[in-house]
Amino acid sequence: MKEQLLQKFGEIFGDTEGAEVYFAPGRVNLIGEHTDYNGGHVFPCALTIGTYGVARKRKDKKLRFYSMNFDRLGVLESSVEKIKPEKEAGWTNYPKGVIWAFGQKGYEVTEGMDLMLFGNIPNGSGLSSSASVEVLTGFILRDQYGFSISNEELALIGQFSENRFNGVNCGIMDQFAIAMGKKDNAIFLDTAAMEFEYAPIRLEGAKLVIACSNKKRGLGDSKYNERRSECETALAQLQQVIGIETLGDLNEEQFELYKGAIKDEVCQKRARHAVYENRRTVRAVEALKQNDIEAFGRLMNESHISLRDDYEVTGEELDTLVEEAWKVDGVIGSRMTGAGFGGCTVSIVKDEAIDAFREKVGQAYLKKIGYAADFYAVQIGDGPVKL
């Protein structure tokens, strides 16, 4: 792969002198959805699929970008000076946003760069192709320009750039999972305290299977920011009656006691999901530590129901994938993952049931939705690396 990428870089940019090859993973969240901006816990892991980058520092101010995934666009040029988001800049707004964010945090990028990307994460799948590009860009900038900065800070800068430059009000989970990924481990992260631990994922005789709905969605124009706003309204009303900083500070009993303070019924449903999902995530990690994978699967199923009924972010495509998965013998648990409104589901499937899972769920999905889903048996990988 490294040689092929360098060869392509040479074709596009004339030669490969000084070019280096890098990789940042995608991520999947096993449980704990829409909790990361509500002060709750999340449980994501990095994947062995992700984004490759070939980069070379320049002596002038010019930025030259090329994506093998969008090769019809050719080389897109701009400058490190006066970087601002531009609709016509398309995908390059993600790496440019990170360069801008580095400057905002006191790490000035004064020289340009040639950057070529290749991603093997399905685009718009909800496996965090944008966060993968952000962390990859930060990792490259650190290496090429010699900035002294930790992987945790790379995650925070990636989130900052997506919030402020790209206008997507995302939480920290995606960038953190990618920057801090560890092979065969998921990350149990308390997003309020930014405290985390690695938890080994031991799926004896089973695998993680991602089902991609192939329904395209954009985070920024989805109802993501709307859900966040509804949770903020609920939190502000709860704070009138109980001293909390985030919805993640509540347990189920406290929520049931004080939920009457939330005047709007829809905001109350959103808050109920945030509170219950957070507690589910804590219990799921405990189940995993006890090697009770069946209990973990049941909690995944409950998570999907809450995302469907209280948070209303699933939609027909994701519901079909999950509800058909639940019918297949050998499926331990299945739920939507990511922001929702399209994207992917994640399932734990026994090895002997994987073929039947693909066939049965795939056929039912095609019949009901009218186009096919894609299936990937995935492995848990490390964070960003220089190849």
Sort residue 28 into left (φ over 0), alpha (ψ -120 to 50) or beta.
beta
State both tokens at 4: 């092929």
d(CA 132, CA 130): 5
Amino acid (1-letter code) at residue 260: G
Nearest residue to 90 via CA among 224, 220, 226: 220
Quickly tell me which residue has 């949770």 as its tokens: 231
36, 174, 249, 310: the catalytic one is 174
Q: Which residue has the tokens 């870089």?
A: 9
Separation of alpha carbons 37 and 57, rounded Å: 35
Cα end-to-end span (Å), the chain:
10
Q: What is the amino acid identity at position 358?
A: R
Q: Where does residue 230 rank: exposed (0-12), middle (13-18), buried (19+ CB within 10 A)?
A: buried
Q: Give CA–CA dist 147/158, Å, rounded.
A: 15
The angle that helices 293-309 and 265-289 make with each other, rounded to 10 degrees, is 170
- Helix (H) or strand (E) holding 272, with range, is helix 265-289
Catalytic, 143? Answer: no
Which amino acid type is present at position 304?
H
Q: What is the DSSP letter of 143?
A: H
Give dist(CA 300, CA 25) in Å, integer. Answer: 23
* Residues involved in catalysis: 174
